[in-house]
Structure 1
Amino acid sequence: MDPNTPQIRTVNVTRYVTPLREGGSLPAIAEADDGFLYVLKFRGAGQGVKALIAELIGGEIARLAGLKVPEIVFANLDEAFGRTEPDEEIQDLLKFSTGLNLALHYLSGAITFDPVVNKPDALLASKIVWLDCLLTNVDRTARNTNMLMWHKELWLIDHGASLYFHHSWDNWKEQAVRPFAQIKDHVLLPLASELDTADAEFRSLLSDDLVHTIVSLIPDEWLLANHSDEPADEIRAVYARFLCARIASSGIFLKEAQDARKLLI
């Protein structure tokens, strides 16, 4: 597959294996009709489809930037799927998640990233910090790293808390050029001594065309779930313009990260 033309497979969920009781969103390990296990993220949980949109955009940008992310797939959930589930909370979650959800390939045997034990090199740390500044990802802290070690390599998971501009849609232009103050809490910031190099590489790589290609992957039904009075293409365009503006003004969030790092070392 050409790395500049991302594609997302669609699978059908066939078996609910076990819930992952982390936070309030209740993701689950599930099996699909391709025989693989996935970490299933439900449209009926937490922030709903906005978390799925952030997961999709964040994960695919990270992948095309050369970082390791489990394969992301669209996951269909049949309306009859949860009828035999004895847990009422899970049954309700399944009921409200009928239709198209999102899932990540389950990395069997992976262990949670431990910042005391695992020390990625400076450039990799810098690339992840830069990415999370771009995405305004508040969820990569020492308390909740959202990274895994699998076959001795670092994998990124869970970008659902990114792109928080879409929770207050009206001021997206202002948010696109704001620094990202929460970067001071990033678990990899102390190691990120190559932020200028990461910035130059990613600004060159993440062209406007590539951003639009990634954003084009968002299903219409997710976009219309919260904006039923606007055409899906117009909503999709806002995501693309937000990301393109943020990349073009990356010097703003780059300086914020560098200043925050100086206070740590």
Structure 2
Amino acid sequence: MLSEVTAVRYVTPLREGGSLPGVVEADDHGAYGTYVIKFTGAGQGRKTLVAEVICGELARELGLRVPRLVGMRLDPVLGLGEPDERVQALLKASGGLNLGMDFLSGALGFDPLAHHVDPAEAGRVVWFDALINNVDRSWRNPNLLMVRGDLWLIDHGASMIWHHNWRTAETASAKPYDASDHVLAPYGPDVAGAAAGLAPLVTEELLTEVTARVPEEWLADEPGFADADEVRRAYVAALLARVKTVHERITLPGTEPKGATK
């Protein structure tokens, strides 16, 4: 399970995010720090936070750089002094457990014209995005940060889109992943090398451990499932079904995935 902190001060909204995440100060058992908070009351709902946890924690286990994730307790009273009515309403609607992530001080947004990524690292990111079916890592919205020359991955809420309609999960595993518009596609990503190194690490045991970190209340009352553990097993099964061969179905500029139809 994620460790928990308590929000003590709302600092400012991050208006570039569609769900209006914010910067907050929080108490981590006496140690105060700055975090980005994503709200349960945002329009995308709790499934966005579930995707953030599963994908973020899996990325970390695979050696990719992601900010530390925490559960963040929020008292709606923090919204009383917020002048922006939209932000105030969001804070009021998000009392209880939300998702926090470390604020990366000094981070710069990834700029394809200014930053270089070697083919091995580009391949790992593209392969990982194919595994989780991340539809949100284009040049228009890279969701990548540079921190002292290192590449960091953020914002995985738009991944695993099959969990919005679980009946499509099985067929989704066989679909190609279009990376032709991926922000790292121009760097010659070594997808085959990434698959050889990372796919064997994505075991049922690892996925079970990662999905166990999702707070139970975000999985409760999912239609078609008896309980939160059954939902967790569905995520494990969906990702396991993709991992062994997803690299064969990645479309990069100048390539065609196996099994593609013309």
Tell me if both proteins adopt one fold, taking TM over 0.5 as the criterion: yes
User: Identical aligned pairs, as a percentage?
Assistant: 45
Is it true that 1:218 corresponds to 2:214 in the alignment?
yes
How do residues 88-237 of structure 1 correspond to structure 2 at under 5 angstroms? 88-181=85-178, 183-224=179-220, 226-227=222-223, 230-237=226-233
2-structure distance, mates of 1:44, 1:246 = 31
Partner residue of 2:16 out of 18, 22, 35: 22
2-structure distance, mates of 1:180, 1:29 = 33
> Any gaps of 5 or more consecutive residues in structure 1?
1-6
Is it true that 1:44 corresponds to 2:41 in the alignment?
yes
The alpha carbon displacement at 1:26 in A equals: 0.4
**Per residue, is there more helix in 1 or in 2?**
1
TM-score, normalised via structure 2 length: 0.91
8 A Cα contact 2:73 2:98, kept in partner: yes
1-structure distance, mates of 2:190, 2:57 = 22
Give the structure 2 partner of residue 9 of structure 1: 3
Give the structure 2 partner of residue 68 of structure 1: 65
The alpha carbon displacement at 1:229 in A equals: 6.6
Decide which moves more: 227-236 or 52-61: 227-236
1-structure distance, mates of 2:166, 2:47 = 11
Letter in 2 for 1:255: E
1-structure distance, mates of 2:138, 2:118 = 18
8 A Cα contact 1:11 1:76, kept in partner: yes
Letter in 2 for 1:128: V
2-structure distance, mates of 1:193, 1:48 = 33
2-structure distance, mates of 1:17, 1:107 = 15
1-structure distance, mates of 2:45, 2:38 = 9
Give the structure 2 partner of residue 82 of structure 1: 79
8 A Cα contact 1:125 1:188, kept in partner: yes
RMSD between superposed Cα atoms in Å? 1.8
Letter in 1 for 2:176: P
The alpha carbon displacement at 1:80 in A equals: 2.6
Partner residue of 2:248 out of 231, 247, 255: 255
Letter in 1 for 2:56: G
Decide which moves more: 47-56 or 87-96: 87-96
Alignment partner of 2:76: what SS? Answer: coil
8 A Cα contact 1:24 1:46, kept in partner: no
2-structure distance, mates of 1:125, 1:103 = 26
1-structure distance, mates of 2:2, 2:58 = 13
**Number of residue pairs matched by the alignment:** 253
1-structure distance, mates of 2:56, 2:218 = 17
8 A Cα contact 1:137 1:161, kept in partner: yes
> Any gaps of 5 or more consecutive residues in structure 2?
257-262
2-structure distance, mates of 1:149, 1:30 = 21
Give the structure 1 partner of residue 259 of structure 2: none
